[in-house]
Chains A and B, each alone.
Chain A
Amino acid sequence: MITAAPWVCRSCAWSLRRASASQFMRRASTGGLPPALLARARKVAAEHDQLSAQLEANYDPKVARRAGEISRVATALNVFEKTKASLAELDGLLNSDDAELRDLARDDIESATAELTEVGRQLSVALTPKHPFAHMPCLLEVRPGPGGLEGRLFADAVFSMYKTYCENMGYRARVVKYETADEEGMGRTGGELALQEAVLEVQDEGAYGLFRGEAGVHRVQRIPVTEKTGRVHTSVAVVWVLPSFPTDGTEAESDWENPESDFYIDPAEVRTETMRARGAGGQHVNKTESAIRLTHIPTGTTVSMQDSRSQSTNRKWAWMLLRSRIAQQRREVREEHARSIRKGLILNNSRGDKIRTYNYQQDRCTDHRSGQDFHNLTNVLEGGEVFGKVIKSAESWLVERDIQEILADEEEVVPSGNKKNGGK
């Protein structure tokens, strides 16, 4: 194999070649698209054909709007099918007897494959339902699971993993809250602190879409630093991903005020407490007492914030966190409702199930939803490129699931459709 680099180790060159070949094999069959997505695209395209036929007979603005909405999918599918057909043709030419023809085909096949990937991507973008919060920045909240010190230490490792990952990827992230517990044995823990609760804000737009697959229970299997007999312990850290607003956004303000919005909170329903010592105040004491606690009375959600020396900053962040938590709760209730209507057709992913395991002994990180194993755990915990792959795998799993949910919804809507194909 000839590469641009003057000398490449043979085994590296071999692995590169194999990688591209296997990718090509996959694309050749479905164009890199999940089969469920393709099925849905065909369905939508069929609907589009039917609607346009209907429109020719007599014009109806309602039908026209729907047709306009799905025309993008129909066009994308059209192009996709065409590209696939031409690729198949080129594949056929590869087996032809004419040597010149074979060479030509080989040249074309590369560009055609690239085109197919691009078209496939466009198609999936056109089809994939967008999460209503996907365009927003997000708050990543890390808390230790039930249990002792080990869970807290691991929560700290998870938090710094996300923090360094954001740094590596160039996302604008900042620590909103970092609260460590006051416990016995604090400090002797190899750089990890006993975390109580930490919140990282990723300010880039669309961060919610990137990280929403991270929400859930992260499990660790390792020998704790505090363990004396060398047994492997299992503990968990819980990650929540909450939608947030861009800090400079003016539309955000109007959205908070809008009672229809998920983010709306009636200030009358929130109790504000400033936590300070009892006794004389004012000029008598000069301790920095900037801690603040907000309680949303209807849901009992509390947020406390003491990280900044400035009380108004703490108040601002506490409100932001409260809004995000409430919005996420409201959204989850709605999704849960939708899912219960669907009668458990879809694999349910509640927060109780672990989503990922970090096994130190085997140097392995497993994503339980996509079912993929990743090695080089050090790189994962440093937020390196392997961790990027882990996040990607979770994300593609989520997209797949969203599409399956939509397919399942359609099965529900059209009772005549055969149930066997819907979901898992």
Chain B
Amino acid sequence: MPRLPPSLFWRAHQISPHAPNLLLACRDLPSTALELRWIKDHITTTPSTTTPPFLRLAHLIRLRARGLPLQYVLGTQPFGTLTIRCRRGVLIPRPETESYTLELADVLFRTPTRSLTVVDLCTGTGCIPLQLFASLRARFPSLAAHGVDVAPGAVALARENARQLGPLGAAQGVTFHRASIFSPAAGLPPFPAGEIDLLTANPPYISRGAFARSTARSVRNHEPRLALVPDGVPASVVAALGCEAFPEDVFYARILELCRGWRPKRVFLEVADGEQAGRVFL
């Protein structure tokens, strides 16, 4: 990480006495000013009865200065039309995910059927199935969105997020399951072949080396490694799927294996880069 010149801290101090602390995490003045404003907005829009605003501001700034992602500090991340709650231990929804989810919703909107089933594996906060459900529920009378994750914390958070769709959304349509895709027998509903219209997944896809080299510091230090690097999979399973050379592809191999049984009409997978895409899809 390059060193920041002291003059930058002086100029930050002139914006606000809190700004130099934020600068530690933001690394430049424009984004410091912007984040300071967002934190202040957050405090005014979510009033607290117990803590005075200046203490909350100081507290949140301190958290952010430690490098905690802004999304964890504020507890939310806007995603399409929704505001997804975020919490430590669950991956933060990314803008790339947001943009392709909205694109997928557009594509699905033109499907000439009355019912639709979407399944998202490694769902995390549940942002993908929730946004698809929110965009499509007016169009499809019977719409089912499923999210699957192995982490209990993620499933709990996803269910919390489902509640913001209103009582209807929480009651029917969106369901979250805690299951491992490597042993799906427990916890996963049986999908008959051909029932799934869209299968999406944003699985952990970063290799060990890339995790050490090319991830941002706040990702490395504060986001769950489980959602980023697929190195918790037993070596025997990796070998059985034929991914010894590239263990970061193991989730894709498993998902494609599942697809042979489920026969989804469409599959959408997020990958790291062109190289990985070549290995997964060709």
Residues in chain A within 8 A of chain B (CB atoms): 180, 182, 184-188, 274, 276, 279-290, 306-313
Contact = CB atoms under 8 A, between A and B. Distances in A.
Given A180-B33, A285-B219, A310-B83, 10 more contacts: A187-B16, A280-B215, A282-B272, A284-B219, A286-B71, A286-B94, A288-B77, A290-B78, A311-B98, A312-B102
Contact of A287 (B14, B78, B97, B216): B216
Contacts of A306: 34
Interface of B: 11, 13-16, 29-31, 33-35, 38, 69-71, 77-81, 83, 91-92, 94-99, 102, 202, 204-206, 210, 214-216, 218-219, 223, 227-228, 270, 272-273
A190 to B, nearest CB: 13
A286 B78 contact: no
B214 A281 contact: no
Nearest to A189: B14
Nearest to B222: A286
A286 B219 contact: yes
Nearest to A185: B14
Closest 5 CB pairs of A and B: A187-B14, A310-B78, A285-B216, A182-B29, A280-B214
Contacts of B215: 280, 283-285
Nearest to A289: B95
Contact of A286 (B31, B102, B202, B218): B218
A282 B219 contact: no
A314 to B, nearest CB: 10
A299 B49 CA distance: 51
B77 A309 contact: yes
Contact of B214 (A180, A274, A279, A307): A279
A312 B272 CA distance: 23
Contacts of B227: 283
A127 to B, nearest CB: 47
Nearest to B91: A283
B214 A290 contact: no
Contact of A280 (B29, B79, B270, B273): B273
B98 A286 contact: no
Contacts of A274: 95, 99
A311 B11 contact: no
B33 A276 contact: no
Contacts of B80: 312
B206 A312 contact: no
A282 B94 contact: yes
B273 A286 contact: no
23 contacts: A187-B13, A187-B14, A187-B15, A187-B16, A276-B95, A281-B94, A282-B94, A283-B91, A283-B205, A285-B215, A286-B92, A286-B216, A286-B218, A287-B31, A287-B216, A288-B71, A289-B95, A290-B95, A306-B34, A310-B83, A311-B98, A311-B99, A312-B81
